[in-house]
């Protein structure tokens, strides 16, 4: 038995080779790099998944079935059995009882270690009781030697990186790394305030917290490590949140040093009305108080020389588009250009149609136009549009991602509006900002979202964003009634659709989301389309899915918008932004597969006109009806409230922050320890401390951010 690796587990080949041997070490080194453990601090922050208790030896007789136990026992028999398959069977006794060890893979050296008469320290899961105890592939070594004082960490790892190697790497990193406190002197730790009972109120320093979490004493209540409520965990989570807040405040301060065009509302001169006033005059409605209020907030931002970085939130249907158009007017009136970018072509198209309707005549009188940029555009059209954008003839540019492509050169972009901002990645927002870089200035940014961001998320990921909220729907809307219906009653639902169409209304039918396969999504939608067409003779039933050619999508949308098409079957492409006020019923099939916020978005497509509107959530039932029941429970929130914020809060509890942040900046990458659904008190503490710390202890702040975020802080800036 090599003394460097006293524990031998025959099933783990890697530990059979002496760790530290040349080839092994470089493989492990590479594996460390691969999982991002480059700096000592990365290793120090690589926390165990769980722990093994090797601090005690227990009598075999006291081991329960299923318990992982460490024993010391003597080998009384050892044989290789060939049936039913080749295996080494070793019988051991410790005076209190006996146990059989079984190994399906083993080496001659193992047999030698486990020869009759040998005394072993054995660790494994004990199975069975009355008929004899058994351990399958336990770890074993020669008995004796000191017992460790702390629990043994088990780390998340990867191929080529054995636990013993990783453990040693962590121990030596912990010994080397600078873990000096970066919190300002006298900081009151919130993790102490919230754990007053059981003597747990002692505040851990960072060093103490990390040493404890890697090697906790065996008397710790394991549940407090598992649920991360232990004060050592609290310390780490607070530190992590502080780093995030510092970096957010820092980027806000950096942005505050940048310059953007100053856009004052133009005065009425010589009877010539400013664009902004003209648009208000031609709108077929008057603004709600909330729209006016957020409009003023935006106008105040635009009149400053610091770039605006504002998120306009408002539930679906609250009328964000017109607010953004009014903001665009302020920029265009001062002779600048605006861009309006939407995540899908359908949505961009709707915006374009709306902007044309509202603004084209007004702009024409000024010799300016609205340009249109999307991916699949004809080369000739595209070239013409690009010229309009470059010359400044286009006052407003509406489109999809195509708006930020390299060839697009703005003459003077002053305001970038991003609809459904959570659909865009950081890189895309950065690209938009760069479009004005040529002038040594930044454009103002207005981001819009109908997915209400829960307060804790807004406080953390969007801390460097100003937020305006439209908290009021335009008048005359009747609330949407939401019903949960088992899909076994689909026929009744189809009957109801017939009645709606008869009454001159229109209906959306949203097909289930099939995450694994777009192809399945499609075949499902196609089949539903065929079924509904058959069940509803004389009704025009259309189909819309993401794989359709653009021209076809447009044609379908045009038929639905004009009211000729009674029913629109679609995959989730209609999720965002589509506005057809005459649609009054939405059916969502397999609603249990959607996130609540997503359902809320979808539901917002109806209830846009004066007619009473309904949303039917069909949920799947199996034969026993049981899967159906849990799904129903979760979906009940949808029937209980129309408040997008409440729904978002429940969604955060259920699904975590990824839902709101979009794939590219999803929560896991940025917060490893803290959990926004439960660590609100820590977040509030960090948020309060961060600006003070930047002012009074800039060096500590810089050190803290570098320690925690390393190269990642760029990521947080866009
Ligand atoms: P969203 O905030 O979801 O983007 P939209 O901007 O699409 O909402 O507006 C939804 C509908 O309400 C549109 O048809 C829009 O023209 C209309 N609308 C917006 N503001 C008002 C208002 N103040 N009064 C009446 N209708 C309005
Ligand atoms: Mg919208």
Question: Quick one: pLDDT at residue 160?
Answer: 86
Same domain? For 32 and 177 the reply is: yes
Handedness of CA 110, 111, 112, 116 (dihedral sign): positive
Classify each residue of 36-47 as buried b or exposed e, where b means 16 or more C-beta atoms within 10 Å of its C-beta: ebeebbbbbbbb
pLDDT of residue 667 exceeding 60? no
Q: What are the percentages of helix, strand and coil residues in the chain, rounded to 5?
A: 45, 15, 40
Classify each residue of 283-322 as buried b or exposed e, where b means 16 or more C-beta atoms within 10 Å of its C-beta: eeeebbebbebbbebbbebbeeeebbbbbbbbbbbbbbbb
Nearest to 509 by CA among 522, 493, 492: 493
Least confident segment among 182-191, 289-298, 363-372: 182-191
CA angle 464, 466, 470 (to 5 degrees): 145
CA-nearest residue, atom 12 of ligand 1: 319
Question: Quick one: pLDDT at residue 10?
Answer: 39
Same domain? For 500 and 586 the reply is: yes
**Separation of 601 CA from ligand 2 center, angstroms?**
10
Among the bound ligands, the one closest to the CA of 476: 1
Distance CA 73, CA 70 (A): 10
Question: Quick one: pLDDT at residue 122?
Answer: 95
Cβ of 499: how many Cβ atoms within 10 Å? 10
Same domain? For 567 and 467 the reply is: no
pLDDT digits (tens, 9 = 90+) for 407-422: 889 999 999 999 877 6
The percentage of residues in the chain with a pLDDT greater than 70, rounded to a whole number, is 85
CA-nearest residue, atom 9 of ligand 1: 319
Same domain? For 506 and 538 the reply is: yes
Least confident segment among 444-453, 556-565, 658-667: 658-667
Same domain? For 162 and 105 the reply is: no
Distance CA 71, CA 170 (A): 27
Same domain? For 492 and 580 the reply is: yes
Residue 350 CA, closest ligand 1 atom number: 7
Q: Are 399 and 374 in contact (CB under 8 A)?
A: yes
Residues framing ligand 1 (Cβ under 6 A): 285, 287-288, 291, 314, 316-322, 450, 474, 577, 579, 581, 608
Which of the four pLDDT bands, split at 50, 70 and 90, describes residue 623? low
Question: Quick one: pLDDT at residue 501?
Answer: 93
Token pair of 232, please?
Answer: 């050592």
pLDDT of residue 599 exceeding 90? no
pLDDT of residue 32 exceeding 60? yes
Question: Quick one: pLDDT at residue 11?
Answer: 40
CA-nearest residue, atom 16 of ligand 1: 319
Question: Quick one: pLDDT at residue 656?
Answer: 60
Chosen domain end from 102, 117, 142: 142
Same domain? For 498 and 585 the reply is: yes
Chosen domain end from 227, 250, 265: 227
Token pair of 677, please?
Answer: 């659904």
> Of 311, 318, 321, 578, which is best to mutate to test ligand 1, by the most ligand atoms within 8 angstroms of its C-beta?
321
Q: Return the CATH number at 120.
A: 2.40.50.140
Same domain? For 293 and 433 the reply is: yes
The whole domain housing 48 covers 10-52+150-227
Distance CA 485, CA 147 (A): 60
The percentage of residues in the chain with a pLDDT greater than 90, rounded to a whole number, is 42
Would you give the DSSP letter of residue 350? H
Distance CA 602, CA 572 (A): 8
Which of the four pLDDT bands, split at 50, 70 and 90, describes residue 389? very high
**Separation of 601 CA from ligand 1 center, angstroms?**
15
Ranked by mean pLDDT, which of 173-187, 516-530, 607-621 comes out on top?
A: 173-187
Query: Is beta strand 98-103 parallel, antiparallel or unpaired with respect to 133-136?
Result: parallel
Least confident segment among 299-303, 475-479, 666-670: 666-670
pLDDT of residue 448 exceeding 80? yes
Same domain? For 409 and 447 the reply is: yes
Query: Is beta strand 394-399 parallel, antiparallel or unpaired with respect to 337-341?
Result: parallel
Is the residue at 655 inside a domain?
no
Over residues 87-93, the mean pLDDT reads 95
Least confident segment among 128-132, 224-228, 428-432, 710-714: 710-714
Cβ of 219: how many Cβ atoms within 10 Å? 7
Which of the four pLDDT bands, split at 50, 70 and 90, describes residue 351? confident
Distance CA 522, CA 526 (A): 6
Which of the four pLDDT bands, split at 50, 70 and 90, describes residue 16? very low
Where is pLDDT greater, at 447 or 479?
Answer: 447
Which of the four pLDDT bands, split at 50, 70 and 90, describes residue 664? very low
Residue 291 CA, closest ligand 1 atom number: 23
Nearest to 429 by CA among 412, 441, 411, 442: 442
Question: Quick one: pLDDT at residue 493?
Answer: 93
Question: Quick one: pLDDT at residue 690?
Answer: 93
Residues with Cβ within 8 Å of residue 589, at least 6 apart in sequence:
487, 509, 510, 511, 512, 528, 618
pLDDT of residue 515 exceeding 70? no
Question: Quick one: pLDDT at residue 186?
Answer: 81
**Separation of 84 CA from ligand 1 center, angstroms?**
73
Nearest to 333 by CA among 362, 358, 309: 362
CB-count exposure of residue 391 (10 Å: 0-12, 13-18, 19+): exposed
Least confident segment among 287-291, 423-427, 493-497: 423-427
Among the bound ligands, the one closest to the CA of 315: 1
Which of the four pLDDT bands, split at 50, 70 and 90, describes residue 553? confident
Which residues have a beta carbon within 5 Å of ligand 2, which is an ion? Answer: 577
SS3 447: strand
Over residues 199-203, the mean pLDDT reads 52
Over residues 197-222, the mean pLDDT reads 80
Is the residue at 701 inside a domain?
yes
**Separation of 317 CA from ligand 2 center, angstroms?**
7
Least confident segment among 104-118, 422-436, 545-559, 653-667: 653-667
Distance CA 368, CA 503 (A): 43
Residue 316 CA, closest ligand 1 atom number: 3
Question: Quick one: pLDDT at residue 176?
Answer: 94
Is the residue at 650 inside a domain?
no
**Separation of 469 CA from ligand 1 center, angstroms?**
14
SS3 303: coil
Chosen domain end from 117, 142, 167: 142
Give the alpha-carbon dihedral of 209, 215, 219, 224, to 10 degrees.
50
Calculate helix-pair angle for 231-256, 680-696, nearest 10 degrees. Answer: 50
Among the bound ligands, the one closest to the CA of 470: 1
CA-nearest residue, atom 15 of ligand 1: 319
Question: Quick one: pLDDT at residue 330?
Answer: 93
Least confident segment among 57-66, 586-595, 661-670, 675-684: 661-670
Question: Quick one: pLDDT at residue 295?
Answer: 96
CB-count exposure of residue 477 (10 Å: 0-12, 13-18, 19+): middle
**Separation of 658 CA from ligand 2 center, angstroms?**
21
pLDDT of residue 628 exceeding 70? no
pLDDT of residue 423 exceeding 70? no
Q: Tell me the whole-structure pTM to 2 decimals.
A: 0.68
Calculate helix-pair angle for 345-364, 275-282, nearest 10 degrees. Answer: 110
Nearest to 132 by CA among 63, 73, 58: 63
Among the bound ligands, the one closest to the CA of 317: 1
**Separation of 332 CA from ligand 1 center, angstroms?**
22
Over residues 293-321, the mean pLDDT reads 92
**Separation of 107 CA from ligand 2 center, angstroms?**
67
Ranked by mean pLDDT, which of 113-122, 368-377, 606-615, 644-653 comes out on top?
A: 113-122
Q: Are 301 and 270 in contact (CB under 8 A)?
A: no
Is the residue at 5 inside a domain?
no
Phi, psi torsion values for 486, nearest 5 degrees? -65, 140
Distance CA 162, CA 157 (A): 7
**Separation of 611 CA from ligand 1 center, angstroms?**
15
Residue 318 CA, closest ligand 1 atom number: 2
Average pLDDT, the chain: 83
Question: Quick one: pLDDT at residue 663?
Answer: 39
Same domain? For 314 and 378 the reply is: yes
Is the residue at 340 inside a domain?
yes
> 420 to each of 118, 656, 667, 688, how far by Cα in Å?
69, 19, 18, 29
Phi, psi torsion values for 108, nearest 5 degrees? -55, -35
> Of 311, 322, 469, which is best to mutate to test ligand 1, by the most ligand atoms within 8 angstroms of its C-beta?
322
Tokens 């820092």 belong to residue: 250
Phi, psi torsion values for 698, nearest 5 degrees? -60, -30
**What total number of domains does the chain contain?**
4
Which of the four pLDDT bands, split at 50, 70 and 90, describes residue 632? confident
Token pair of 416, please?
Answer: 């970038």
**Separation of 285 CA from ligand 1 center, angstroms?**
9
**Separation of 320 CA from ligand 2 center, angstroms?**
6
Is the residue at 237 inside a domain?
yes
Distance CA 276, CA 303 (A): 14
Omega before 560 cis (within 30°)?
A: no
Phi, psi torsion values for 641, nearest 5 degrees? -140, 150
Distance CA 245, CA 713 (A): 11
Residue 354 CA, closest ligand 1 atom number: 16
Question: Quick one: pLDDT at residue 718?
Answer: 41
Same domain? For 389 and 378 the reply is: yes
**Separation of 576 CA from ligand 2 center, angstroms?**
7
Among the bound ligands, the one closest to the CA of 314: 1
Where is pLDDT greater, at 489 or 512?
Answer: 489
Is the residue at 653 inside a domain?
no
Q: Return the CATH number at 616.
A: 3.40.50.300
Residues with Cβ within 8 Å of residue 445, at least 6 apart in sequence:
307, 308, 309, 310, 415, 416, 417, 418, 429, 432, 433
CA-nearest residue, atom 10 of ligand 1: 317
Is the residue at 537 inside a domain?
yes
Same domain? For 44 and 189 the reply is: yes
Q: Are 616 and 587 in contact (CB under 8 A)?
A: yes
Where is pLDDT greater, at 66 or 294?
Answer: 294
pLDDT digits (tens, 9 = 90+) for 517-528: 555 656 678 888
CA-nearest residue, atom 26 of ligand 1: 474
Residue 608 CA, closest ligand 1 atom number: 11
Among the bound ligands, the one closest to the CA of 577: 2
Residue 320 CA, closest ligand 1 atom number: 2
Over residues 534-556, the mean pLDDT reads 86
Which of the four pLDDT bands, split at 50, 70 and 90, describes residue 19? very low
Omega before 187 cis (within 30°)?
A: no
């Amino acid at each position: 038995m090599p003394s460097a690796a006293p524990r031998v587990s025959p099933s783990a080949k890697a530990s059979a080779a002496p760790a530290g041997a040349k080839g092994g070490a470089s493989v492990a080194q590479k594996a460390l790099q691969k999982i991002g453990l480059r700096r000592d601090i990365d290793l120090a922050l690589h926390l165990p998944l769980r722990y093994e208790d090797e601090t005690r030896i227990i009598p075999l007789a006291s081991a329960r079935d299923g318990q992982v136990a460490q024993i010391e026992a003597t080998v009384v028999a050892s044989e290789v059995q060939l049936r039913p398959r080749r295996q080494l069977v070793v019988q051991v006794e410790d005076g209190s009882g006996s146990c059989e060890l079984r190994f399906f893979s083993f080496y001659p050296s193992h047999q030698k270690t486990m020869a009759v008469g040998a005394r072993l320290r054995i660790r494994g899961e004990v199975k069975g009781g009355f008929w004899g105890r058994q351990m399958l592939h336990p770890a074993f070594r020669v008995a004796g030697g000191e017992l460790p004082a702390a629990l043994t960490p088990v780390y998340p790892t990867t191929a080529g990186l054995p636990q013993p190697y990783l453990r040693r790497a962590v121990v030596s990193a912990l010994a080397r790394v600078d873990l000096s406190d970066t919190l300002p002197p006298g900081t009151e730790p919130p993790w102490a305030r919230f754990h007053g009972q059981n003597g747990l109120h002692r505040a851990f320093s960072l060093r103490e917290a990390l040493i404890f979490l890697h090697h906790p004493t065996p008397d710790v209540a394991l549940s407090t490590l598992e649920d991360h409520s232990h004060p050592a965990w609290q310390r780490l989570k607070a530190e992590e949140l502080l780093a995030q807040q510092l970096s957010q405040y820092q980027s806000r301060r950096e942005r505050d040093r940048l310059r953007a065009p100053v856009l004052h509302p133009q005065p009425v001169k010589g009877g010539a009305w400013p664009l902004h006033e003209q648009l208000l005059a031609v709108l077929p409605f008057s603004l709600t108080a909330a729209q006016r209020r957020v409009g003023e907030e935006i106008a105040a931002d635009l009149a400053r020389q610091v770039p605006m970085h504002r998120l306009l939130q408002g539930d679906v249907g609250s009328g964000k588009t017109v607010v953004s158009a009014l903001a665009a007017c302020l920029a265009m009136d001062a002779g600048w250009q605006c861009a309006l970018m939407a995540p899908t072509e359908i949505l961009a198209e709707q915006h374009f149609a709306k902007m044309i309707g509202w603004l084209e005549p007004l702009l024409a009188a000024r010799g300016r136009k609205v340009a249109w940029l999307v991916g699949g555009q004809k080369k000739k059209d595209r070239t013409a549009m690009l010229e309009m954008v470059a010359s400044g003839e286009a006052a407003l540019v509406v489109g999809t991602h195509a708006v930020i492509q390299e060839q697009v050169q703005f003459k003077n972009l002053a305001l970038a509006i991003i609809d459904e901002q959570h659909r865009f990645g950081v890189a895309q927002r950065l690209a938009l900002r760069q479009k004005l870089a040529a002038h040594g200035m930044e454009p103002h940014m207005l981001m819009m979202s109908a997915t209400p961001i829960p307060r804790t998320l807004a406080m953390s990921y969007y801390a460097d964003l100003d937020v305006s909220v439209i908290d009021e729907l335009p008048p005359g809307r009747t609330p949407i009634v939401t019903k949960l219906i088992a899909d076994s009653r689909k026929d009744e639902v189809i009957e109801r659709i017939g009645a709606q169409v008869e009454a001159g209304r229109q209906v959306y039918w949203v097909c289930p989301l099939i995450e694994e396969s777009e192809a399945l999504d499609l075949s499902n939608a196609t089949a539903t389309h065929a079924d509904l067409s058959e069940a509803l003779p004389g009704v025009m039933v259309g189909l819309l899915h993401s794989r359709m050619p653009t021209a076809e999508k447009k044609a379908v949308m045009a038929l639905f918008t004009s009211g000729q098409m009674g029913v629109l079957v679609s995959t989730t492409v209609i999720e965002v932004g589509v506005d057809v006020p005459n649609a009054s019923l939405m059916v969502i099939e397999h609603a249990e597969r959607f996130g609540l916020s997503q359902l809320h978005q979808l539901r917002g497509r109806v209830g846009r006109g004066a007619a009473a509107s309904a949303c039917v959530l069909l949920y799947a039932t199996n034969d026993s009806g049981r899967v159906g029941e849990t799904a129903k429970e979760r979906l009940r929130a949808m029937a209980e409230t129309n408040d997008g914020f409440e729904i978002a809060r429940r969604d955060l509890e259920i699904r975590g922050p990824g839902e709101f942040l979009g794939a590219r900046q999803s929560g896991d990458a940025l917060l490893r320890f803290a959990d926004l659904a439960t660590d609100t008190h820590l977040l509030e503490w960090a948020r309060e401390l961060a600006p003070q710390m930047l002012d009074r202890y800039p060096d500590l702040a810089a050190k803290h951010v570098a320690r925690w975020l390393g190269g990642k802080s760029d990521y947080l800036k866009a």
